[in-house]
Amino acid sequence: MTKFNLQNIVRQHILTLAPYSSARDEYTGKEGIFLDANENPLGSVTPEDWNRYPDPYQSDSKDKIAFIKSCRPSQIFLGNGSDEPIDLIIRLTCEPKEDNIIILPPTYGMYEVSANVNNIEIQKIPLTTEYQLDTEKIIASINSKTKLIFICSPNNPTGNLIDRKAILKIIENFQQGIVIIDEAYNDFSDEPSFIPELDNFQNVIVLQTFSKAWGLASLRLGMAFGGEELIKLLNKIKYPYNINGLTQRALLENIHNIDFMHDSVKKLNQNREKVIFELKKLPYVLNIYPSDANFLLVKFTEAKKIFEYLIQQKVIVRDRSKVILCDDSLRISIGTEEENHILINLLNQYKPL
């Protein structure tokens, strides 16, 4: 079997290109008179000063994240949401109109969108009807131009965990490229992350995000964890100051408050079980799929009509009924107790036309 060789996976011109060298790259000291970046030395239009460019490599943030995730700072890439590394990993490895990626629908939509933006062929190997990997088909569809396989666990929009052994089988059988394991919802599950396994698998990148359990969706902070050489290459092609100063500061000042995250997970998981209990009583609910995330995929007798009825009442859920293997299904995020109560009351009052 092919041995993993990063040099063969990365687009050749990226290996040799000279990255932009920012002012904050060239002088990394914190003291001095800074006349090197054309900033406004007088301050900012805002009450707080944001006039200086932020740390391009977010060293302090990575030190803290590494501590929480039990990995090395050099294994971490930070992005403007995890959507940024999704796009960068594709750009790093896939030659437009030549290479291909494998995605496993129904799954998170950005893998497909980013591949399309970059003009990269997509091979779609649907999940099984139990929303698990069709490992044999995935392995059979790998060809010499396949660079990436995206696996989302817990999966969006279905909510379930993907069987770990099946993921391991894909990792073992795909040494010619990279398996991206998107763990955006891992905080809500008891499943161990793949981050501690990274030293065993050079061909794996793990994605996580501060947008979900940490409640920081608006700050846009996503993480990619991987081998040091891979992370260096992602840093080479990113925008120089991709994580803004406000985000870095908010993280540094608050990341110690990990209890908030754990409490949120506990409450939202309890709320999820209550919503399931109530949904089960409704005659229009055909199936509630098992979820290890902060949302539920629910199959209704007439999803589209219920979706529109809820919108009229200003309750907005996600219509997934046109998505493969999600016929007549809506994806419902778990809200506060009050929000869930309103949702359930509305569904109780729903009358089919």
Ligand X SMILES: Cc1ncc(COP(=O)(O)O)c(C=O)c1O
Counting contacts by CB under 6 A, is residue 99 touching ligand X?
no
Distance (Å, rounded) from C-alpha 296 to C-alpha 30? 47
From the list 75-83, 228-236, 246-254, 319-327, the region that binds ligand X by CB under 6 A is 75-83
Contact 184, 207 (CB under 8 A): yes
Closer residue to ligand X, CB minimum distance, 65 or 184: 184
H/E element, 267: helix 258-279
Residue of closest CB approach to ligand X: 81
Q: Of 203-222, which residues contact ligand X (CB under 6 A)?
A: 209, 211, 217, 222
Counting contacts by CB under 6 A, is residue 81 touching ligand X?
yes
Closer residue to ligand X, CB minimum distance, 152 or 347: 152
Contact with ligand X (CB under 6 A) among 65, 92, 184, 347? 184
Residue 67: what residue type? F
Contact 306, 284 (CB under 8 A): yes
Closer residue to ligand X, CB minimum distance, 109 or 352: 109
Q: Of 122-181, which residues contact ligand X (CB under 6 A)?
A: 152, 156
Give the tokens for residue 153.
Answer: 């666990």
Of 45, 50, 52, 48, residue with least CA distance to 30: 52
The partner residues of 207 in beta bridges, in order of sequence, read 182, 224
Counting contacts by CB under 6 A, is residue 9 touching ligand X?
no
Pairing of strands 76-79, 222-225: antiparallel
Contact with ligand X (CB under 6 A) among 77, 83, 242, 303? 83
**What is the contact mask toward ligand X in residues 24 to 63, using x (rule: CB under 6 A)?**
----------------------------------------
Residues that bind ligand X (rule: CB under 6 A) add up to a total of 12
Distance (Å, rounded) from C-alpha 69 to C-alpha 192? 11
Alpha carbon 275 to its chain's center = 25
Distance (Å, rounded) from C-alpha 268 to C-alpha 212? 11
From the list 44-52, 76-84, 244-252, 278-286, the region that binds ligand X by CB under 6 A is 76-84
Residues making contact with ligand X (CB under 6 A): 81-83, 108, 152, 156, 182, 184, 209, 211, 217, 222
